[in-house]
Chains A and B, each alone.
Chain A
Amino acid sequence: MLLITCPHCGNRAQTEFDYVRTLDSIVTLDMAPEAAMTTLFERSNPRGIDDELWRHSHGCRQFMMLRRNRVTHEIASITPWGAA
Chain B
Amino acid sequence: MTGPARIAGGPAPSLGFSFDGKPYRARPGDTLAAALLANGVNLVARSFKYHRPRGIMAAGVEEPNALVTVGEGARRTPNTRATDVFVYDGLVAVSQNRWPSLRFDIGTLLGLAAPVFASGFYYKTFFGPPKRWMFYEKFIRRAAGLGNPPIEADADRYEHRAAFCDVLVVGSGPAGRVASQNAALAGDRVILVEQDAVPGGSIVRDAGGDVTAIMAAELAALELAGTRVLVRTTASGIWDDGLVTCVEQLAEPGQAAEIAQRLWRIRAKRIVLATGAIERPLTFAGNDRPGVMLSQAARTYVRRFDVLPGCRAVIATNNDDAYLTAFALREAGGTVLAILDTRAAVVSQVVAAAQAYFPVFFDVQDLATEGGLNCLSSVDAMIGSTKRRFAADLLAMSGGFTPVVHLHSQAAGKLDWREDIQAFVPGATLQAITSVGSAAGEVEAIAAMTANLGKPKASFIDFQNDVTAADIDLAWQEGYRSVEHLKRYTTLGMATDQGKTSNMAALTRLAGAAGVAIPQAGLTTFRPPYVPLTLGALAGPDGGGHAAPTRRLALYEHHQRLKPIWQPLGYWHRPRAYPLGRETLAEAALREARAVRNCVGIVDVSTLAKFMVTGPDASAFLEIVCATNVSKLAVGRGRYTFMLREDGMVMDDGTVWRLSDNRYLLTSSTGGAERMEAHLAYVRQVLAPQLRVSVVDSQEHLAGIALAGPQARDVLATLIGTEPPAHMGASEGVIAAVPVQILAASYSGERAFEIYAAGHDAGPVWDALEAAVRARGGCPYGLEALEFLRIEKGHVVVGGEADGRTTAHDLRLEKMVRKAGGFIGASALDRPALSAPDRKQLVGLESLGGDIPEGAMLMETWGSGAEGHVTAAAMRVNMGGSIALGLLNGGRGRSGETLVASSPTRGQHVQVRVVAPHFYDHEGARYRD
A18 touches B624 (CB 8 A): no
The segment from B58-66, B656-664, B684-692 found at the interface with A is: B684-692
B871 to chain A, nearest CB (A): 27
Q: Which of B167-175, B463-471, B747-755, B827-835 contacts A (4 or more CB under 8 A)?
A: B827-835
**Docked-complex contact B241 and A18, CB < 8 angstroms:** no
Chain B residues in 8 Å Cβ range of A55: 678, 681-682
Contacts of A76 in B (CB 8 A): none
Q: Is B408 an interface residue (CB 8 A)?
A: no
Q: Known interface pairs A36-B646, A40-B646, A40-B647. Does A63 touch B686 (Cβ–Cβ under 8 Å)?
A: yes
Does A1 count as interface, using CB distance less than 8 angstroms? Answer: yes
Quick one: closest A residue to B430, CB to CB?
A: A72
A-B contact count (CB 8 A): 61
Bound CA span A31–B646, Å: 12
Report if A3-B646 is in contact (Cβ < 8 Å); known contacts: A20-B682, A26-B686.
no
Q: How far is the CB of A30 from chain B (nearest CB, A)?
A: 10
Q: Can you give 7 contacting A-B residue pairs, CB < 8 Å? A: A20-B686, A28-B687, A29-B822, A40-B646, A72-B412, A72-B430, A81-B686
Given known A28-B687, A33-B830, contact A2–B240 (CB-CB < 8 A): yes
The reply to whether the CB of A22 lies closer than 8 angstroms to some CB of chain B is no
- Chain A residues with Cβ below 8 Å from B681 are 55, 61, 63
Q: Which residues of B contact A72 (CB under 8 A)?
A: 412, 430
A36:B241 contact, CB within 8 angstroms: no
| Residues 815 to 836 of chain B near chain A (Cβ within 8 Å) | 822, 824, 826-828, 830-831
B136 interface residue per 8 A CB criterion: no
Residues of B within 8 A of A29 (CB): 624, 687-688, 822, 824
Whether A1 and B678, one on each chain, are in contact in the complex, defined by CB atoms closer than 8 angstroms, is no
| Interface membership of A77, Cβ < 8 A | no
Q: How far is the CB of B738 from chain A (nearest CB, A)?
A: 30
**Contact B827 A27, beta carbon cutoff 8 Å:** yes
**Nearest CB of chain A from residue B807's CB, rounded to whole Å:** 15
Task: Find the A residue at minimum CB distance from B243.
Answer: A1
Closest A residue, CB atoms, query B828: A37
B243, B687, B827, B828 — most chain A CB neighbours (10 Å): B827
- Asked whether A3 lies within 8 Å of B240 as measured between CB atoms, the reply is yes
- Given A33-B827, A55-B678, does the pair A27, B240 have CB atoms closer than 8 Å? no
A3-44 vs B, CB cutoff 8 Å, 1 = contact: the mask equals 100000000001000101000001111011100110010000
Instruction: Given the known inter-chain contacts A3-B241, A36-B828, please indicate yes or no for A27 contacting B685, CB distance below 8 A.
Output: no
Residues on B with beta carbons closer than 8 Å to the beta carbon of A81 = 685-686
- List residues of chain B with CB within 8 A of the CB of A82: 685, 689
- The distance in angstroms between the C-alpha atoms of A61 and B694, with both chains bound, is 14
Q: Is A53 at the interface (CB under 8 A from chain B)?
A: yes
Name the distance in Å between A58's Cβ and chain B's nearest Cβ.
11
A68 vs chain B, min Cβ distance (A): 11
Q: Which residues of B contact A28 (CB under 8 A)?
A: 687
Q: B276 within 8 Å of A by Cβ?
A: no
How many A residues touch B, CB cutoff 8 Å?
Answer: 27
Q: Closest Cβ of chain B: how far from A82's Cβ, in Å?
A: 6
What secondary structure prevails in chain A residues at the interface with B? Answer: loop
In the bound assembly, the distance between CA atoms of A81 and B682 in angstroms comes to 11
Chain A residue contacts of B121, Cβ below 8 A: none
A62 to B682, CA, bound (A): 9
Residues of B near A3 (CB, < 8 A) are 240-243, 267
CA of A32 to CA of B629, assembled, Å:
21
CA distance A37 to B829 in the complex (A): 10
Q: Is B126 an interface residue (CB 8 A)?
A: no
Interface residues of A (CB under 8 A from B): 1-3, 14, 18, 20, 26-29, 31-33, 36-37, 40, 53, 55, 57, 61-63, 72-74, 81-82
The answer, yes or no, to whether B239 is at the interface (CB within 8 Å) is yes
Known pairs A3-B241, A29-B687, A29-B688; A37 contacts B827 (CB<8 A): yes
| A29 CA to B625 CA, complexed, in Å | 11
Q: Report the bound CA distance from A74 to B430 in whole Å.
A: 9
- Provide the residues of chain A in CB contact with B647, threshold 8 Å: 40
Q: Which of A20, A26, A31, A61 contacts B827 (CB 8 A)?
A: A31
- Known contacts A33-B830, A37-B831; A18/B646 CB under 8 A: no
Question: For the complex, what is the distance from the CA of A31 to the CA of B828, rounded to whole Å?
Answer: 12
Are A63 and B685 in contact (CB-based, < 8 A)? Answer: yes
Q: Do A73 and B827 touch across chains, with their CB atoms under 8 A apart?
A: no
Alpha-carbon distance between A28 and B646 when the two chains are bound, in angstroms: 10
19 further A-B pairs in the complex, CB-CB below 8 A; given A1-B239, A3-B241, A31-B827: A2-B240, A2-B241, A18-B678, A27-B646, A29-B824, A33-B827, A36-B828, A37-B827, A40-B646, A40-B647, A40-B828, A57-B678, A61-B681, A62-B685, A63-B685, A63-B686, A72-B430, A73-B430, A82-B685
Q: Name the CB-closest residue of B to A36.
A: B827
10 A-B pairs with the lowest CB-CB distances in the bound complex, closest first:
A3-B241, A36-B827, A33-B827, A2-B240, A72-B430, A63-B685, A1-B239, A73-B240, A1-B243, A27-B646
User: If the complex has contacts A29-B688, A53-B686, are A1 and B241 also in contact, measured as CB distance less than 8 A?
Assistant: yes
Complex Cα–Cα for A14 and B681 (A): 19
Nearest CB in chain B: distance from A25 CB, A: 9
Task: Find chain A residues with CB under 8 A from B430 CB.
Answer: 72-74
From B240, B824, B826, A1 is in contact (CB under 8 Å) with B240
Alpha-carbon distance A32/B687, docked complex (angstroms):
15
User: B239 — which chain A residues lie within 8 A by C-beta?
Assistant: 1
Using Cβ atoms and an 8 Å threshold, which residues of chain B touch A37? 827-828, 831
The residue in chain A whose Cβ has the minimal distance to the Cβ of B687 is: A29
A interface footprint on B420-439 (CB within 8 Å = 1, 0 otherwise)? 00000000001000000000
Q: How far is the CA of A28 from the CA of B689 in the complex (A)?
A: 12
Residue of chain B at shortest CB distance from A29: B687
Chain B residues numbered 667-721 whose CB sits less than 8 Å from any CB in chain A:
678, 681-682, 685-689
| Chain A residues closer than 8 Å to B830, beta-carbon distance | 33
**Distance in angstroms between the alpha carbons of A36 and B827 in the assembled complex:** 7
Give the distance in Å from the alpha carbon of A40 to the alpha carbon of B689 in the complex: 20
**A55-B688 Cα distance, complex, nearest whole Å:** 16
